[in-house]
Amino acid sequence: MERLYTSKGGRSSFNCTTVRINAEDLDRLEQDAATLRPVGGFFWGSTEEMNQQDIDEVKSFIARAREAIAAGKAVFYDSWW
């Protein structure tokens, strides 16, 4: 999501900020879901590998986000470390 934020013109730190998610972003996330890796950080992240439950949660988010967009709603990812 941080890379998406930057690619959409985000210039400040990706902490306490949002990025709007569109259908194309969801397509990319869906393609990448099985290969996502955890990211570590001082206040966040993990050294554990992604497991099937994590991947299923990403897929569930994608499905709910698609429904919201189809209903005319906006979907945002909100970061907070």
What are the CA-CA distances from residue 7 to residues 19, 25, 56, 64, 68 (Å)? 10, 11, 26, 23, 23
pTM across the whole model: 0.76
Domain that holds residue 10: 2-78
In 3D space, the residue among 68, 3, 77 whose CA is nearest the CA of residue 37 turns out to be 3
Distant-in-sequence, close-in-space partners of 67: CB < 8 Å, separation ≥ 6: none
- The number of domains in the chain is 1
User: Please, which pLDDT band fits residue 40 given cuts at 50, 70 and 90?
Assistant: low
The answer on pLDDT for 39 being more than 80 is no
Binned at pLDDT 50, 70 and 90, residue 11 comes out as confident
- Closest by CA position to 1, among listed 80, 81, 79, 66: 79
d(CA 16, CA 33): 24
